[in-house]
């Protein structure tokens, strides 16, 4: 078990504990800190506190980080399109329809099951037993590139780049309708939908800032082909933002409506760029549009 002891100064007093810790400890996300608080693995002055506890001057914070549990996910020999691989990380081109990690309703057949087989279990443990190596995710029906960490050191470094907005992520998608501007930015906070907890929405309540930049690549009669650049990486961010401005992603039956001949949204993670955590060299990867996407483009043209 890894242990940390921190002391609260007068400058820090008044800060919310989960936010302050996530801002100051690189390898712990806010959600993982909240779980440590819930499990009483973070104590203030030897007492358990809630995630919204406000720090006070001279508070003593004791943090105990349990060792990762043994993974209970079965490696499966599922073909994976590996775009790049070395001792620290992989870049994977995920097909449309594949779930990234096991969850309710998808216990196996996921990218994680495939990666465990391919990497012989050598993946980072920071995101726990269900999401080993997963630094960032893309939705089941979104195809394209994502990065996977083999070591905790690489994972921490890459997560920091994402947090600091230096990690490049570009998507291409078809949206409903014709855009009034050639480019633009949607800056609107995203949080859980109050009635449907599986959905996200633009809201000021219990939300996080979210920024999506877009550029029109091609315009059709009833649709538009757009390039998206993520400044932040919230759950369903592009899908929520485009629905919010009245141009949902084509085929998105959660935030828009379905489209004949396609299951789920027509969205592809086309490009990623990052500084390699070991070599410190900038790397960028770009992948072609998949066949399903090209077929939809032919239809809308």
| Final residue of a structural domain among 134, 164, 194 | 164
Structural domain tally of the chain?
Answer: 3
What band does 71 get if pLDDT is binned at 50, 70 and 90? low
User: Whole domain around residue 133: which residue ranges?
Assistant: 69-164
| Final residue of a structural domain among 117, 142, 164 | 164
Q: Do 52 and 29 have their domain in common?
A: yes
Q: Do 215 and 280 have their domain in common?
A: yes
pLDDT in tens, 109-132: 899 999 999 999 899 988 777 788
Q: Do 289 and 256 have their domain in common?
A: yes
What band does 90 get if pLDDT is binned at 50, 70 and 90? very high
| pLDDT in the model for residue 1 | 61
Instruction: Give catalytic residues, as residue numbers.
Output: 139
- Greatest mean pLDDT among 10-24, 101-115, 204-218: 204-218
Q: Do 82 and 208 have their domain in common?
A: no
CATH number of the domain where residue 208 is located: 3.30.2350.10
Q: Do 176 and 301 have their domain in common?
A: yes
| pLDDT in the model for residue 133 | 87
Q: Do 29 and 45 have their domain in common?
A: yes
pLDDT in tens, 236-246: 999 999 999 99
Q: Do 203 and 286 have their domain in common?
A: yes
Q: What is the mean pLDDT of residues 94-120?
A: 88
Q: How far apart are CA 229 and CA 30, in angstroms?
A: 24
Q: Do 175 and 278 have their domain in common?
A: yes
Q: Do 55 and 82 have their domain in common?
A: no
| pLDDT in the model for residue 104 | 67
| Final residue of a structural domain among 164, 181, 216 | 164
Q: Do 175 and 282 have their domain in common?
A: yes
Percent of the chain with pLDDT over 90: 73
Judged against a pLDDT cut of 60, whether residue 292 lies above it is answered with yes
Q: Do 179 and 113 have their domain in common?
A: no
Q: Do 270 and 169 have their domain in common?
A: yes
| Mean pLDDT (the chain, rounded) | 91
What band does 196 get if pLDDT is binned at 50, 70 and 90? confident
Q: What is the mean pLDDT of residues 48-74?
A: 85
| pLDDT in the model for residue 182 | 95
Q: What is the mean pLDDT of residues 33-57?
A: 93
């Amino acid at each position: 078990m890894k242990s940390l002891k921190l002391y609260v100064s007068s400058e820090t007093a008044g800060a919310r504990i989960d936010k302050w810790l996530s801002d100051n400890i690189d390898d712990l996300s806010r959600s993982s800190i909240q779980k440590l608080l819930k499990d009483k693995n973070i104590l203030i002055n030897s007492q358990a506190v809630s995630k919204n506890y406000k720090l006070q001057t001279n508070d003593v914070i004791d943090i105990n980080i349990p060792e990762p549990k043994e993974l209970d996910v079965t490696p499966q020999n599922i073909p994976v399109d590996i775009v790049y691989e070395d001792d620290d990380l992989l870049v994977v081109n995920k097909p449309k329809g594949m779930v990234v990690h096991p969850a309710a309703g998808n216990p196996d057949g996921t990218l994680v099951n495939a990666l465990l087989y391919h990497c012989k279990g050598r993946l980072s443990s920071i995101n726990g037993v269900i999401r080993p190596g997963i630094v960032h995710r893309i939705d089941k029906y979104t195809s394209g590139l994502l990065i996977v960490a083999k070591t905790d050191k690489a994972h921490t470094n890459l997560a920091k780049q994402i947090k600091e907005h230096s990690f490049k992520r570009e998507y291409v998608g078809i949206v409903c309708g014709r855009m009034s501007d050639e480019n633009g930015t949607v800056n609107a906070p995203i949080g859980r939908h109050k009635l449907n907890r599986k959905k996200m929405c633009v809201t000021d309540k219990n939300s996080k800032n979210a920024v999506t930049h877009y550029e029109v690549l091609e315009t059709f009669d009833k649709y538009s082909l757009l390039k998206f650049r993520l400044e932040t990486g919230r759950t369903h961010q592009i899908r929520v933002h485009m629905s919010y401005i009245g141009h949902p992603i084509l085929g998105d039956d959660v935030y828009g409506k379905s489209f004949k001949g396609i299951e789920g949204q027509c969205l592809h993670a086309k490009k990623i760029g990052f500084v390699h955590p070991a070599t410190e060299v900038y790397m960028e990867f770009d992948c072609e549009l998949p066949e399903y996407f090209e077929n939809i483009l032919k239809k809308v043209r």
